Chain A
Amino acid sequence: MNSRRRFLRNALQAGAAGATLGRFGVLNAFASQAAASSSYKALVCVFLYGGNDSNNLIVPVSTSGSNYSSYAAIRQNLALPAPSNSAAAGTTLLPIGFGNDTYGLHPQLAALQNLWNTKRLAVVANVGTLVAPTTRTQFLSPPSTSTLPNNLFSHSDQVAGMQTATPLGFATNGWGGRLADVIAQLGLNPISATFPALVSVTGTSLFGTGATTHPAAVPPGAAIGLQGYDTSLAAADRLFALKSLLSQELLQTSSGAALIREAASITQNGINDSDKLNVALKGAKGIGTAFPTTSIGQQLLEVAKLIQVRSALGMNRQIFFCSLGGFDTHSTQLTDQATLFTQLNAALVSFEQSLDAELSDVAGGVTLFTESDFSRTLQPNSNGGSDHAWGSHHLVLGPGVQGGKIYGKFPSLALNSNDDAGGEGRWIPTTAVDQYGATLAQWFGVPKAYLATVFPNLANFQNASKLPPTYPVYADPTNVGFMG
């Protein structure tokens, strides 16, 4: 089936599914499809494993809501020093303005301060896992049919919640993977593109596992593909035999052969994907921008390389998954988070520089965003750290971002407030990860009718008039606005 026919089928299915395509819907959709194909887009997820304390990522210094004094009073030994012109670099909060308000970024995020000032960085406040809008009253006395995510404050469950956007289920696929499924269905990548739309540069992840598509895993800096093959006939014979044996294992049907089949299938995909990638990388110009040698630096360098060879891979849409771990700061938080933010800051600025240099022709189509397990308690513990919480502030950056703004609603920095799930400053999210992701997905080219495939609970948030007064006012709650 050629790509036009496949597209028409998909568009018709979309129409049947109730999409508001209008009288000339199919044709109009085809026109926008053509436009979408010509402009490359990539999403880059950076997952901060361990639960990043976003209370020290961005701090209200002087705002219409909370001020530095309320922050410092509750944070005590974990409070970062207020902005100061006379202090040494990297020791005090870095001021950023938003309207009449002043916030401060963590002292190690100087490059992000610049990106804010050039409007390439947006902050989305208090994002987290939710099944439905939830108020403090509802949280403290859950209704009989509970609508809370499974096992709040548990790393594993909340990582799964942020990566799958199905916090009630035992999901076997993630929202990145389902987004890749929909991209394939919509024909947003040409049918000739057989390389996976989703690439993880940090091993396997629930985020990248689709229902119908598989992710590729590319370890940064490593040789790609099977080792030990030269151009000899003997090597060709050996490879043929290896592939035959894999095919035999894929066909095994005896009871209990499921594990063998799955392993063989992963291997077969790995061999096919790496063959394509090696061909594509052969003609690559390479990335001249210097990247840090840290894990996150090398991951983002690999992402830049993969974006660079997009045409050789035939891709119009790519999704990347990266990670940085170590944010579970129950003790020695000030030094540990500063070390991690130093790494993050350096890696992000290199990535943005490579967008302006080697990738300038597609820079506007590349958007990077953060996720994390959860944020941490505003009130510190007695051990120089903070404990597991819930809603967290996140970063979105790239030339296509409507930057220099805070989206969503910043929680009131007070214990036992309406934003607090208890008395220690565990913010109840006021923007669901579903809304955060749906904003990115729509910018990526996913029509509203397909959003429910990727974010099954989105419908619980899409009626602005039904959101509680503690929630931010969005004209369209499925689009938080940071992508325009």
Chain B
Amino acid sequence: MRFFRYSLAGIVLTISFNFSALGNCRPAAVSTAAATRFLTQASWAPTAEAVAQVAATGFDCYIEDQIALPASPSPDATLTDPVKQTYVLRPVQEAFFYNAVTGKDQLRQRMAWALGQIWVVSAVKLKAQAIPPYNRILQRNAFGTYDVLMKEVTLSPAMGRYLDMVNNNKPTATKGANENYARELLQLFTIGLNVLHDDGTAFLIADRPVPAYSQDIVEGFARSFTGWTYAPLPGTVSRFGNPENYTDPMVAFAANHDNDAKQILSGVVLPIRQTPESDLNSALMNIFNHRNVGPLVCRQLIQHFVTSDPSPAFVNRVVNVFNSYPRGDLKAVIRAILLDSEARGGDAYADFAAAGFLKEPALFLNGVLRRLGATIVPPDFAKGAGTTGLITVSTNLGQNIFYPPTVFNYYAPDYKITDGQTRIAANAPEFQLMSGATAMSRMDVWNTLAFGKMTGVSIDSILLQWQNIVGTTPTATSEAAMVDAVFATIVGGATPKAVKDTVLASFKNLKTPKSMVSTALYLIGSKWSNQVVR
């Protein structure tokens, strides 16, 4: 049956897709251009293979196929000094790029990376060995329900250490409970500061937003989360204040838990003498069922996949899916985001596209490598030694992978730019990393790829392909054909005349096909139009 559908679409069938996953999706062939555009949103970047798959089976079946794929390998940090217990994160960081280019689970990777920018932890504070188990929670729950993700993260030792829930002792008459996790869980991970409509806009009274919670409620949650410590290491006696254990979920000690009543959201009071486990479960469900969770989470996910500034109607449609049974189903949410008319509107008519978003450095780099078919030296988990220059490059662009500066991520979802023409301010989170210096650094990336050599990364294959188009004796026609090929790969579609003229004019003092290819790649790559997803 499925074979039949592919035949209808007239697509080469020798490509071995993972058919097993295709279940209830409705196959519908789409144009190559639409498939390519869709994959700029749903993967790190389109490849010929993925474009063929989407063109043949359509968006819905691609999503379903992706959801069924297992996560790319995410090994632990490398132990380099067993005596001092020093671990190195570098291979884990490099695996992030390696998986992006070679892994089939593109949508899961994008989703885990997006969720990790909501539920932020950082190796700035955490030890290296804390990061991979945390990443696996995000991978595992990328298409699960939000309440399960909330609980797994809350009890993860990485988050426990990062926002101080671990060893948060019950308060005394002269010392309060540690408010860190309670406050950021509410503000950043679940409900946000102000009461929201389902369309993500703020509920206003007398033109002012209404706070979603008060300081008392922060303190109520802070006390609900007391009494947890690291899980005991094998062969040790467990006590409150166990030594660091980044492998297993945290464990509770009733004696260190505040068992007074606690005021939490929506007028709920947790009764006295609950166990740490039941207080935690009640507190998390109280948050999960708050009506802000849908708008806060869905809006940010839309920003990561489709547009920085979604219309309230778009947010509302996705929130309706989030709020349907089973509540918080991320599988249904990502499907709703990617298939929404506002996401797909640009497939046929560019003018119907939403504003889109600037690629963050990670998406920019992974996209470049994937589109160019780069080969990358695999991470060295055995030695922990570096194999590529990619970490340095992403850091220069403002995004050191797994090292966001604070729990507020690399950038804020409501960071705004003001349009120089219209003077209208619009959300554009990724611009928080864009200074003149980092903007030029993106061009330096193209310079290194085109003219130099990036450690551990090779794009020789495509460079050679383009050089062959130019031929050993370049002609105006062969040069133009090469520029078209570069443009089609990097940006997609036909080269606009002004661009082609400009690039070709810059060849006038060049002699070799190699230098022309490098120049074309540098100039076309540096165009911002290919660094904005829309």
Enumerate chain A interface residues (CB-CB to B < 8 A): 49-50, 74, 76, 145-146, 150-151, 153-157, 170, 172, 200, 203-204, 215-219, 222, 224-228, 232-234, 237-238, 240-242, 244-245, 248-249, 252-256, 258-267, 269-271, 273-274, 325-326, 328, 330-331, 377, 379-383, 385, 387-388, 422, 424
Is the Cβ of A382 less than 8 Å from the Cβ of B444?
A: no
Inter-chain contact B527/A382, CB cutoff 8 Å: no
Chain B positions near chain A (C-beta within 8 angstroms):
124, 163-164, 167-172, 174-180, 183, 187, 193-194, 206, 208-209, 211, 215, 218, 226, 308, 350-351, 353-358, 396, 398, 405-406, 408, 412, 414, 416-422, 425-426, 428, 431-440, 443-444, 447-448, 451-452, 498-499, 502-503, 505-510, 515, 519, 522-523, 526-529, 531-532, 534
Known contacts A154-B187, A203-B398, A259-B358, A267 near B193 by CB under 8 Å: no
Residues of A within 8 A of B172 (CB): 382
B-chain residues with CB within 8 Å of residue A265 when the two chains form the complex: 420
Which residues of the partner chain B approach A50 to less than 8 Å between Cβ atoms? 406
Q: Is the CB of A255 within 8 A of B176?
A: no
Task: Decide if B176 touches A377 in the complex (CB within 8 Å).
Answer: yes
Q: A350 vs B72: C-alpha distance in the bound complex, in angstroms?
A: 48
A273 lies within 8 A of B215 (CB): no
Residues B505 and A237 in contact, CB atoms below 8 Å apart: yes
User: Once the chains bind, are B509 and A241 in contact (CB under 8 Å)?
Assistant: no
Q: How many A-B residue pairs have CB under 8 A?
A: 230
Contacts of A379 in B (CB 8 A): 174-176
In Å, the complex CA distance between A50 and B406 comes to 8
Given contacts A154-B193, A254-B350, A422-B215, contact A270 B532 (CB under 8 A): no
Knowing A203-B435, A258-B419, A325-B406, the reply to whether A145 touches B499 (Cβ < 8 A) is no
Beyond A50-B406, A219-B437, A377-B176, list 4 extra A-B contacts (CB 8 Å): A217-B435, A245-B527, A259-B356, A263-B431
Q: Is B354 a contact partner of A266 (Cβ separation < 8 A)? A: no
Given known A258-B422, A381-B175, contact A242–B523 (CB-CB < 8 A) = yes
Among candidates B177, B433, B440, B507, residue contacting A382 with C-beta atoms closer than 8 Å = B177
8 A-B pairs with the lowest CB-CB distances in the bound complex, closest first: A270-B436, A217-B435, A228-B447, A241-B506, A330-B180, A383-B178, A263-B528, A267-B439
**A226–B444 touching, CB < 8 Å:** yes
Task: Name the A residues within 8 Å of B448 (CB-CB).
Answer: 227-228
Shortest Cβ distance from A233 into B: residue: B509
CB <8 Å contact, B528 and A249:
yes
Q: Can you give 11 A-B contacts (C-beta < 8 A)?
A: A153-B183, A203-B438, A226-B443, A234-B510, A234-B519, A242-B522, A245-B526, A249-B527, A270-B439, A379-B176, A385-B164
Report chain A residues within 8 Å CB of B437.
217-219, 222, 224, 270, 274
Contact residues in B for A383 (Cβ distance below 8 Å) = 164, 167-169, 177-178
Q: How far is the CA of A150 from the CA of B187 in the complex (A)?
A: 13
With A200-B435, A217-B437, A270-B440 as given contacts, are A382 and B425 in contact (CB-CB < 8 Å)?
no
What's the Cα separation between A331 and B179 when bound, in Å?
10
In angstroms, how far is the closest chain A Cβ from the Cβ of B497?
Answer: 11
In the complex the two chains form, is B169's CB within 8 Å of A382's CB? yes
CB-based contact A227/B447 at 8 Å: yes
